[in-house]
Structure 1
Amino acid sequence: MLLAFSAHLYLWRITVKLKFLLSAILGISLLGTALADDLDEIKKRGTLVVGVTSDPPFAQLDTKKQTYTGYDVDFAVAIAKQMGVKVLIKDISTADRIPKLQAKDVDVVIATLTKNAEREKLIDFSYGYFVTGQKFIVHKGKIKAIEDLTNATIGTISGSTSEKQLRREMPHAKVVLFPGPDQGFVALGKGEIDAFSTDEPILAGLYNKMPNKNDFEIPNASVSLEVYGIGMRKGEKRLVDEVNKIIVGMEQTGEASKIFERWFGPNSTIPLTRLFKINAK
């Protein structure tokens, strides 16, 4: 009887120890899963999935080669190379930039995404990698200063920061929304709006493609300063730190300025002056 009891007690202790050990192992396994983040997933997959928008010269599809080129694309390629992974470019709409990121359809968004307090509640940003101003394209000779647009009918892209800036800074103007800049330019050409507004390099790129561009101009009137950042999911600190380290390094080696010169230098179709540097400030 005593022997049977001792055997039962021994088996009970072994069972408790096994349960404890199993719980510890599962706990470690679950902990390991919880600690895995986007940077780990990207490196494990071997591919960085980048969302861009078709806004030349930031991103555009080469229909012959079926590959994307542009300022944003060059940054995507450079970041993936520094991470030691391949890059996969996905074309997404302006309105879908943050939703696609939050839904994990892309790892990062490099798509003329302006940094602001509202968006920083939803996603995390890298340091600014491009700085520009929001301007207007109008019929030549009609606008000399931004005050001339106070009561104008102005087109812009729906859901963009340009829309928010216009409504905030020009409350008396009538804002007309379009899904993209191409539709806005058509409306401008037909005289349905007085001006179309978005960031200067996007305006300049579209302006250069207009068949009647000599009838229009981009006056030196800016409604805001826009800083573009690379968007990442909220709380992905390691990925944000990695991207920041890479783009600051690109600034230090001169790679960032070379990309700018390629798309906005004096020999480009959209010559702009680079008035910024990529840094932590």
Structure 2
Amino acid sequence: MAWFRGAAIWLAVLAWLIPAATARGAEGGTLSRVRETGVIVIGYRPASLPFSYLDAQLRPTGYSVELCERVIATVREKLGLPDLEVRRVEVASATRMPLVINGTLDMECGITTHTAERARSQSFSLTIFVAETRLLARAGDRVQSLADLRGRPVASTIGTTSIQHLAKVNEQQNLGIRILGGLDDPEGFQLLRSGRAAAFLMDDVVLRSLLAQQGPGADDYRLSDQALTIEPYAIGLRKGDPQFKALVDEVLAGLYRSGEIHAIYRRWFESPLPSQGLNLKLPMSAAFRRVIANPTDSPDPERYR
């Protein structure tokens, strides 16, 4: 059922993807269009703590959203638009990239891995976080790799690099895994909680966030020690707009150079989350510290080892 619903979303998006892309593409660069319309559009995720979620007043907030807001502040100043309107569009794993590609979104401010394949159809900012994919299973199961799940059902989230990796390894190693897809991360986790899946494959920071929301129930689950892939996150941008990408990258690089990124990181990963009260207590990784010291927009996982 989840796969069917996911396919329906894709078909709905693709139905208007090409004509919308043509119309938006004719309008020129992002900054020119924002100057003319007085509007900038960002995409957000409603439940992807701590990167992008809705606060108690149902306003988008989070680490990625804050970084995008820093970019918006610079756009206001650069274009002399103090009353610049910010339109916020809810996205899901399956819809976020099509909405960037066709120009509906000026920035996608959620959790998206920059890959070489994705970069063929859209652009990405400098890396803003480095995650690793891991398996989450019941505490009683000793699950460290996909090979440990041979012949069993495994969940992931539709439209993610995690489910792509799961399908690839399943085929290459002939594991006979039955892949279950959630439309979003909470739904993917629910497949594990309900017993329909033996494990949930997703980025470690997402898994830690989901576990933090379980309270004492988090002890019922265990993350694999072994990381399966490296995932450099970035802000999604339209392809073929180097001027806007340069502006976004300079805002991020400025936060890295000044060291302000450390305070921003602590606010979202090492402190109680606004309107949530959850604290992930997740120190900055060595990989992201290296990005801050030497900013990069590389999609190559080896660049972050």
Which TM-score band applies after superposition, normalised by the shorter structure? 0.7 to 0.9
AA at the equivalent of 1:270: L
**SS, match of residue 137 in structure 1:** strand
Aligned counterparts of 1:34 and 1:68: Cα–Cα separation in 2: 30
Aligned counterparts of 1:116 and 1:39: Cα–Cα separation in 2: 25
Q: Which runs of 4+ in 1 moved over 6 A?
A: none
Question: Which has the larger displacement, 166-175 or 153-162?
Answer: 166-175
Q: Does 1:76 align with 2:80?
A: no
Q: Which residues in structure 2 correspond to 1:244-263 (within 5 Å)? A: 244-263=249-268
- Residue 31 of structure 2 corresponds to 39
The answer on whether the counterparts of 1:123 and 1:233 sit within 8 Å (CA) in structure 2 is yes
How big is the shift at 1:188? 1.1
- Residue 50 of structure 2 corresponds to 57
Correspondent of 2:212 among 208, 211, 215: 208
Q: Does 1:102 align with 2:74?
A: no
Aligned counterparts of 2:246 and 2:35: Cα–Cα separation in 1: 15
- Cα 1:262–1:107 shift into 2, 3 Å: same
Question: Which has the larger displacement, 73-82 or 162-171?
Answer: 162-171
The answer on whether the counterparts of 1:264 and 1:270 sit within 8 Å (CA) in structure 2 is yes
- Cα 1:204–1:125 shift into 2, 3 Å: same
Correspondent of 1:180 among 178, 181, 184: 184
Question: Which has the larger displacement, 182-191 or 227-236?
Answer: 182-191
Question: Which has the larger displacement, 138-147 or 194-203?
Answer: 138-147
- Residue 193 of structure 1 corresponds to 197
Aligned counterparts of 1:46 and 1:248: Cα–Cα separation in 2: 26
- Residue 237 of structure 2 corresponds to 232
Aligned counterparts of 2:230 and 2:271: Cα–Cα separation in 1: 22
- Cα 1:148–1:38 shift into 2, 3 Å: same
Deviation string, structure 1 residues 71-126 (Cα, Å, up to 9, x no partner) = 11111111111222544332211111111123322111122111112111111111
The answer on whether the counterparts of 1:143 and 1:149 sit within 8 Å (CA) in structure 2 is no
- Cα 1:174–1:221 shift into 2, 3 Å: farther
- Using structure 1 for the length normalisation, give the TM-score: 0.81
**SS, match of residue 208 in structure 2:** helix
Deviation string, structure 1 residues 33-80 (Cα, Å, up to 9, x no partner) = 9794112222443443111222111111124x2312111111111111
- Higher radius of gyration, 1 or 2: 1
Q: Which residues in structure 2 correspond to 1:101-120 (within 5 Å)? A: 101-120=100-119
How big is the shift at 1:178? 1.4
The answer on whether the counterparts of 1:58 and 1:111 sit within 8 Å (CA) in structure 2 is yes
- Residue 217 of structure 1 corresponds to 222
How big is the shift at 1:185? 2.1
Question: Which has the larger displacement, 193-202 or 35-44?
Answer: 35-44
How many pairs align? 248
Aligned counterparts of 1:125 and 1:186: Cα–Cα separation in 2: 31
The answer on whether the counterparts of 2:143 and 2:149 sit within 8 Å (CA) in structure 1 is no
Q: Give 5+ residue unaligned stretches, structure 1.
A: 1-32
Q: Give 5+ residue unaligned stretches, structure 2.
A: 1-24, 273-277, 299-305
- Cα 1:214–1:126 shift into 2, 3 Å: same
AA at the equivalent of 1:243: V
Question: Which has the larger displacement, 148-157 or 114-123?
Answer: 148-157
The answer on whether the counterparts of 1:51 and 1:89 sit within 8 Å (CA) in structure 2 is yes
The answer on whether the counterparts of 1:138 and 1:217 sit within 8 Å (CA) in structure 2 is yes
Aligned counterparts of 2:189 and 2:235: Cα–Cα separation in 1: 27
Aligned counterparts of 1:239 and 1:261: Cα–Cα separation in 2: 28
**SS, match of residue 93 in structure 1:** coil
The answer on whether the counterparts of 1:71 and 1:260 sit within 8 Å (CA) in structure 2 is yes
